[in-house]
Amino acid sequence: MAFLTVGKENSADIQLYYEDRGSGKPVLLIHGWPLSGGSWERQSAMLLASGYRVITYDRRGFGRSSAPGDGYNYDTLASDTAKVIETLGLSDVALVGFSMGGGEVARYMGKYGGKGVSKVGFISSIAPALRKDGNNPDGVDPAVFEGLKRGIEADRYAFLGEFFHMFFNQKILGGTHISTEAIQACWNVAAASSATAMLQCIDAWLEDFRPDLTQISVPTLVIHGEADQIVPAPASGQRMPELIKHAQLHILKDAPHGCNWTHHVEVNKALLGFLRG
């Protein structure tokens, strides 16, 4: 097991758990909420078999990383990403974020000038901006996010059960793309995460990443499920080419938010083609 220290809270170090496997060009994968780096298993296996060095880490508050009382804003989370890149000495790295992880990708590129990054990927990402307001009429009503927070505060375990059904569109896809056992495994990971982290991260989702995205000049891949019930494609992925003109956009027919599992064949094909291109 490997850990790196990104800060300190009172008497305890804040440590991130990470895995660094394989050789070749590095790919750094940033997971979504409320999972861990292990949620990339179907992409990690493919990338390792294709000759890439694959790095994953657990966001603070999730997986095996430390769970401090704060630091769940994107400036801090992007700082954690920067620490991973710096500590591991990564260069010419492809930085890929899923869902909430897309926020770290965007903010790292904006705040740190994309240091060491040669390509970026956004899968089911919350970017460019989810909060609906006068400056962002195509976003999602903030009341939706307040409802999520109330559900977590009332009974986060029951909330997670319903959340993952929507995450994978189980009622629509049934057992054809994901098993009940796989959903249960996701629930187990999420239930073990920090309740504080779960709540505070929702506030971070309302961040506006449009200024960060306009600074991206490296090759960019955007993958989004057409039937995403968590982060609707029209409010997110489909808008990315407006801000990153050179972005490659792949909309996956009938795919849910958790397309990196349910539609991993299509996702992996697009990701590998992009990395090799």
pLDDT, tens digit, 9 for 90 and up, residues 194-228: 999 999 999 999 999 999 999 999 999 999 999 99
The catalytic position among 224, 228, 236, 250 is: 228
Q: What is the pTM of this model?
A: 0.96
The catalytic position among 31, 224, 257, 264 is: 257
The catalytic position among 65, 66, 79, 99 is: 99
Active site residue 228: yes
Which structure tokens are listed for 57?
Answer: 């880490």
Active site residue 124: no
Classify the C-alpha dihedral 194-196-197-202 as positive or negative. Answer: positive
Closest CA to 138 of 148, 147, 129, 127: 129
Please measure the distance between the N-terminal and C-terminal CA atoms of the chain and give it in whole angstroms. Answer: 33
Active site residue 257: yes
pLDDT tens digits along 255-274? 999 999 999 999 999 999 99
Closest CA to 109 of 243, 259, 273, 18: 243
Which structure tokens are listed for 86?
Answer: 């710096």
Which domains, from first to last, does the chain contain? 2-276 (3.40.50.1820)
Is the pLDDT at 21 greater than 80? The verdict is yes
